[in-house]
Amino acid sequence: MMRTKGLALWSVSWSLEFPALYRRANSALLEFGRLRLACFTNKDQLRLGTLCFRGKCDGGLKVIKYGALYRLLLGLIFSGAIASTAAGQSVEIGNHASRIRVLFIGNSFVYFHNMPAVLEAISNRSIVPRVVTKMVVSGGARLKDNWQEGAALSEIRKGGWDYVVLNEQSSLGDVLIVNQQTQIADPAHFWQYANLFDKEIRKTGAKTVILMTWKDKNDPHRSQQALDFAFVNFARASGAILAPVSLAWQRIRDREPGLNLYSKDDHHPSAEGSYLEACVLYATLTGQSPVGATSKINGPPVEEDEGKLLEGKTETLVEIPPAIARTLQRVAWDTSRKVKAEGGYPIAFKPPAVVLPTVTGGRRPSLPELLGVWRGPLDFYPNNLPIEIQLRISNDQSGLAATLHVFYKGARPDVEVRLEDFRVTGSGVSFTDPDGPNKGTIEFSGAFRAASLTGIAKTLMPGSDPQISVWGTWDLKKVN
């Protein structure tokens, strides 16, 4: 700290551009380009010529005349006032840290457009605090993956972080597919690994931040309600901080439908989406408004598949038109303030349970009714693959024999398998296909109704990693 005639100079950083005068609640702040200082007096009044300061070190400081203060500033610059920060130390202005160190742990929802670098650039507009980031990320990573791989835990234990932002995989880590549509999985595994990380983060004195992420653009089966419920309930139970990106995201979608926050895959963020994410994080971590921040940001790009930072290269990370940037900034700030007014934890209702298909009705078919070839659609594999199955049932000397043929229609080679466990039940038929997803077995059960066999198919792999549950339906008609 440097004192000049009763003036306490607490923080200075240097870059010569345009002079500007700022006023904050607890200090008077002069910015000359990016040279910024906070001035306090030890007396109730300090007069320097016609320049008058009033207030105490912890009170508001009034600047009566700008010109004299400007001249004083130039003298301070050339008298070595910037020496105290030349070593890059973290300093304080009043009670506010001048640098916030943030570690991101997650996946592509964090590293697309190098969002942490965008956050840093947004923070550079303000006097304090500046955000400094690092990320431990990889494509599609769950918190469980990041925990088990060890790099994230090692980085946390090094200490020195103010906040650690946790980003879970977009469907909460496990796989639940119903009739070819990916659903939001049970949050139990997300809560488990978020809790493990949270305990380690707290040991270092840092604070845990849960990144509330968005659902896919045109997928009604991925429930935003289920995601928000998982995020909010963990944060409330653990005392973690919420970064309400999904809430701001939905506001933009509702109010500005022409503003696309998604990339071409309708899953990852566009440049506007990443910018909104960074603005929400800035508001959450600093308590300051991002309104007025820069919207063209250059920095090192990130390889999109695995999240590798391409150091040594520089490109435009985001370039948002000013009017759109202001909209994103305002929504981010309004959302952050609203969540804060709600005590930091918005209301999040428990989502309705995912409806799983069931077999109803049916009767035991007679042998003549059953024999022959049955064919129809199977809604089972993800991504709406147009799959059909054919069931050929015959009766030979050894009894009933059945063969299943799966037509993948070019998505993968067709499969034909003899069904060793085909049997007739009181309501229809049942059998298994050993060639299920991830080398699992598909269990089929169906109800017989006149000339149709209608039923469900399921693969349950609770011991797999990730845990896989796939449910589907099939409807076969007798073709000969």
Position 362 confidence tier, pLDDT thresholds 50, 70, 90? very high
All structural domains of the chain with their residue ranges: 2-85, 98-341, 367-478
Name the least confident of 122-126, 364-368, 456-460.
122-126
Q: What is the pLDDT of residues 67-92, one digit of tens each?
A: 444 444 444 433 333 333 333 333 33
| 437: DSSP letter | G
Residue 109 has pLDDT above 80, yes or no: yes
**Residue pair 37/79 in contact by the 8 Å Cβ criterion:** no
For the segment 363-368, the average pLDDT, to the nearest whole number, is 94
Mean pLDDT, all residues of the chain: 82
Task: Identify the pLDDT of residue 422.
Answer: 95
| 141: DSSP letter | -
CATH topology identical between 98-341 and 367-478: no
Q: What is the pLDDT of residues 198-236, one digit of tens each?
A: 999 999 999 999 999 999 998 888 899 999 999 999 999
Residue 45 has pLDDT above 90, yes or no: no
Give the DSSP H or E segment for 155: helix 151-158
Task: Identify the pLDDT of residue 129.
Answer: 82
Position 426 confidence tier, pLDDT thresholds 50, 70, 90? very high
Domain 367-478 architecture:
Beta Barrel (2.40)
DSSP 43-109: SSEEEETTEEEES-TTS--EE--HHHHHHHHHHHHHTTGGGGGTT----EETTEESEEEEEEEE-HH
pTM score of the predicted model: 0.77
Percent of all residues in the chain with a pLDDT value above 70, rounded to a whole number: 79
Which superfamily does CATH assign the domain made up of 98-341 to? SGNH hydrolase (3.40.50.1110)
Task: Identify the pLDDT of residue 97.
Answer: 59
**Residue pair 193/143 in contact by the 8 Å Cβ criterion:** yes
Task: Identify the pLDDT of residue 480.
Answer: 84
Residue 468 has pLDDT above 50, yes or no: yes
For the segment 15-26, the average pLDDT, to the nearest whole number, is 31
Q: Is 228 helix (H, G, I), strand (E, B) or coil?
A: helix
Q: Which long-range contacts (CB under 8 A, 24 or more apart) does 397-405 make?
A: 400/370, 400/424, 402/431, 404/431, 404/433
Position 126 confidence tier, pLDDT thresholds 50, 70, 90? low
